[in-house]
Amino acid sequence: MTRSEPPVVRPKRPWLLRERRGVEPTTSTELFFDLVFIFTITQLAHYLIAHPDWRGAARTALLLALVWFVWIYTAWGTNWLRPDQAPVRALLIALMLGSLLLSAAIPEAFAGAGLVFALVYVTVQVGRTLFALWAVQGQPWLVDGFQKTLPWFTATSLLVALGAVVGGAFQEVLWAAAIVIEVIGLSTGFPVPGLGRSPAERWMVEGGHLAERCQAFILIALGESILVTGSTLAQHLDLTMSGAFVLAFAGSVALWWVYFARSAPAAEEVIARAGERTGALGRLAFNYLHPVMVAGIIVTSAGDERLLREPGAPATTVTVLFTLGGPALFLAGHAAYKAVLWRTLPTGRIVAVVVLLTLMPVCVGLGVPVAACATVAVTIAVIMTDRFGYDRPPDSRPDRPAALRRL
């Protein structure tokens, strides 16, 4: 090497880094890590069921956001690190244990278990970032990114811990502030005085892998909703309950169909081919919009539980909000997801959200199954608009790849 040539930079631990040869596969270790979040979604749904008011909904949203940060940043981490290597595998198992403790603390997170939740959250968020900094040494763009995220994660984690210590309404305020600061940090590239920021185009994300990971989480959330309804049915199995279960199951299948039948494979391809836009696109599509869809599934699960508990009762305002509001939230999130990826207006989904919101006051006082039937009918209508091409993005032209043509 001559004096005019720049030094060759090589990672100190290249065996821990993914090689970036096309779409990176989702490993069994990652899927094993995901299993904990079945319990997490169940806990969040049960928390909402036990606190069916606006404060309970707000607290559920705060808990979901914090849990989502744990999961999504781990998914980003394994986008760069190899989960089949022993140190990374050990990290994921440790994070799995931490996530399990977080989930166990959810029912009392705003009471006696708040400090446990916060301390585990701090350990997971800061510990994972420190491990990543150790693993990526010698890879300048990765080191730069993790160096800038560490102060932000530390600050927001300490806010969560402080909120748990003071408790009461201040806990909610501080946890909300931590979430807002986290979102601002990610949106601005985690700027640090003296170091600058980490622009999204330098994140070198493998978009296909991230898309697969988020698809897996949607499956987990939908599976949990079936688990909740199935366990409720097992307690009171009769003809009426079986009919209510079929309705709830049909609703879950309809949401799955909306997400997976046409959009999911094409979305994976769009993200994988986004080039320098992958980081910014992934930030918006996965960090911000997917938790909206997950929230919709959780609210829908709460509505399904009400349907099975009181299949013949008139629908209260809360029941209607759960039964119609959950799918409306899911469809709104998916509409935004499609709009971001394909830069088109998903008219069918927008109309469906408006119809569901309009039906809410109409369904109050009617039978709970009537509200459930209305929800299933509207969601099926969205599926049909996809099937017959009324809500297809412009990328579905015949000269596009096969996955896009299926939209």
pLDDT in tens, 319-345: 999 999 999 999 999 999 999 888 888
Is-contact 39 102, C-beta < 8 A?
no
**Residue 368 reports pLDDT greater than 80:** yes
Instruction: Quote the pLDDT of residue 389.
Output: 67
- Please measure the distance between the N-terminal and C-terminal CA atoms of the chain and give it in whole angstroms: 52
DSSP code, position 276: G
For Cα atoms 348, 349, 350, give the angle at the middle one, nearest 5 degrees. Answer: 95
45 pLDDT more than 80? yes
In 3-state terms, what secondary structure has residue 85?
coil
0.75 surpassed by pTM:
yes
Q: Is the pLDDT of residue 304 over 70?
A: yes
Residue type, 271: I
- Evaluate whether 392 touches 384 at the Cβ level (below 8 Å): no
User: Is the model's pLDDT at 101 over the cut of 90?
Assistant: yes
148-166 average pLDDT score: 95
Does residue 75 have a pLDDT over 50?
Answer: yes
Residues whose CB is less than 8 angstroms from the CB of residue 244 and which lie 6 or more positions away in sequence, other chains included:
233, 307, 308, 311, 368, 369, 372
- Cα(209)–Cα(75) distance, rounded to whole angstroms? 9
Provide the 10 A C-beta neighbour count for residue 191.
14
Distance CA 270, CA 144 (A): 27
The alpha carbon of residue 84 and the mean position of all alpha carbons in its chain are separated, in whole angstroms, by 24
Judged against a pLDDT cut of 50, whether residue 398 lies above it is answered with: no
Rounded distance between C-alpha atoms, residue 283 and residue 37, angstroms: 21
CA distance 344 to 367: 37
Q: What is the pLDDT of residues 119-140, one digit of tens each?
A: 999 999 999 999 999 998 888 8
